[in-house]
Amino acid sequence: MKRRPLIAGNWKMHKTVPETLAYIEAFKPLVAGVEDRDIMLAPPFTALDAAQRALEGTNISLGAQNCHWESEGAFTGEISPKMLADIGVTYVIIGHSERRHIFGETNEMIRRKIEAALKFSLSPILCIGETLAEREAGRTFEVLEQQLKEGLEGFSTADLKELVIAYEPVWAIGTGKTATPEQAEEAHAFCRKLLKDMFGEEFANKIRILYGGSVKPENIVGLMARPDIDGALVGGASLKPDVFARIVCFGRTE
């Protein structure tokens, strides 16, 4: 079963408001008329509002890179899903490996963030992936299973209709080392099988599983040819509009 591809750009801690607006200005015409796949940009929080206005009426959706698990309260420095929904954000990346490893996010925090995002009708993009040490110790599937089971515990299939999963092997993020399409497909197929066991076949067949980790215009076609890879979460290569547009437009001839 073919799912609608999603190509998502995660800018991480890059770009001011003027840089964001200049990017969008250049990017929009490069992807205009691309209607057979979903496109998302996730600028930093400070540029979300300006980006939302600049993206209005285009085929490009807006995403945030993180959110808190409460709607409001005494959480200095945090941003809630309610605030993101308020300014027109539609996707939110949750549990990115940089959040897990640099900021100590646990599967339980991630589960709560997903719950909070869903409450405000945001589509969570749940990131999972093993470190190099875990892969070398033969623990890849065990790690993925724990991240999915603990991150998605207690939800129903109806709750998770808009969920997206991103498999991002930590050793491939920002390193230039991409998983081969075979390695990525093996992990994606494992996740889909697990989701089938957890939520049933219909759900598992519908859910999109993106690959992330050094995706470039040169490797997107090989990755997207695999049956269980439904799109990409792109970091470094999403920072230049022309490079990201080439990834978004993979497989199109015009």
161 is in an annotated binding site: no
Q: Is 214 annotated as a binding residue?
A: yes
Q: Which of 98, 105, 134, 168 is catalytic?
A: 168
Name 131's Cβ contacts closer than 8 Å, sequence gap at least 6.
Answer: 101, 143, 170, 171
The closest alpha carbon to 165, from 137, 124, 122, 201, belongs to: 124
* Distances, alpha carbon 228 to alpha carbons 3, 84, 185, in Å: 9, 30, 6
Is-catalytic flag, 96? yes
Q: Could you write out the DSSP letters of every residue in 27-93?
A: HHHHHTT--SSEEEEE--HHHHHHHHHHHTTSSEEEEES---SSSSSS-TT---HHHHHHTT--EEE
* Residue 151 or 236 with smaller CB distance to ligand PGA: 236
Residue nearest ligand PGA, Cβ-based: 235
Q: Minimum CB separation from ligand PGA for residue 171, in Å? A: 10
- Can you say whether the dihedral through the CA atoms of 188, 192, 195, 199 is positive or negative? positive
Nearer to ligand PGA, 168 or 230 (CB): 168
Q: Confirm whether residue 104 is marked as ligand binding.
A: no
Q: Is 202 a catalytic residue?
A: no
CB of residue 237 to ligand PGA, shortest distance in Å: 6
Cβ-based nearer residue to ligand PGA, 68 or 96? 96
Least distance from ligand PGA to the Cβ atom of residue 179, Å: 11
CB-based contact 61:89 (threshold 8 Å): no
Q: How near is the Cβ of 210 to ligand PGA at its closest, in Å?
A: 9
Does 66 count as an annotated binding residue? no
Q: Of these residues, 96, 98, 130, 188, which one is catalytic? A: 96
The annotated binding site for substrate is made up of 10-12, 174, 214, 235-236
Active-site residue set: 96, 168
